[in-house]
Amino acid sequence: MGAEVTEPAEFRHTTVLLDEAVDGVLARPDGVYVDGTFGRGGHSRALLARLGPQGRLIGIDRDPEAVAAAAAITDPRFTILHSAFADMSDQLAAIGVHQVDGVLLDLGVSSPQIDNPARGFSFRFDGPLDMRMDTTRGESAADFLARGDEREIARVIRDYGEERFAGQIAKAVVARREAGAPLARTDELRELVARTVKTREPGQDPATRTFQALRIHVNGELEELEQGLIAALHLLAPGGRLSIISFHSLEDRRVKQFIAAHSKAVVDRRLRVAPPVRRA
Q: Are 170 and 150 in contact (CB under 8 A)?
A: yes
pLDDT the model gives residue 102: 97
**Cα–Cα distance measured from residue 261 to residue 265, given in angstroms and rounded to the nearest whole number:** 10
pLDDT of residue 225: 97
* pLDDT value, residue 276: 58
Q: Which residues contact 143 (CB under 8 A, 6 or more apart)?
A: none
One pLDDT digit (tens) per residue for the chain, 280 residues: 222 223 344 444 556 688 899 999 999 999 999 999 999 999 999 999 999 999 999 999 999 999 999 999 999 999 999 999 999 999 999 999 999 999 999 998 988 999 999 999 999 999 999 999 999 999 999 999 999 999 999 999 999 999 999 999 999 999 999 999 999 999 999 999 999 998 777 888 999 999 999 999 999 999 999 999 999 999 999 999 999 999 888 999 999 999 999 887 665 566 555 555 565 5
Q: Write out pLDDT tens, residues 218-233.
A: 999 999 999 999 999 9
- Cα–Cα separations (whole angstroms), residue 19 to 16, 251, 264: 9, 21, 27
Backbone conformation region of residue 181, classed left if phi is above 0, alpha if psi is from -120 to 50, else beta: beta
**Domains of the chain from N-terminus onward:** 9-106+222-261 (3.40.50.150), 128-219 (1.10.150.170)
The amino acid at residue 121 is F
Q: What is the pLDDT of residue 235?
A: 97
- H runs (alpha helix) in the chain: 18-25, 42-50, 64-69, 88-94, 111-115, 141-147, 150-161, 166-178, 186-196, 208-219, 221-235, 249-262
For residues 116 and 135, what is the distance between their CA atoms, to the nearest angstrom? Answer: 13
- pTM of the entire predicted model: 0.86
Distance CA 69, CA 102 (A): 23
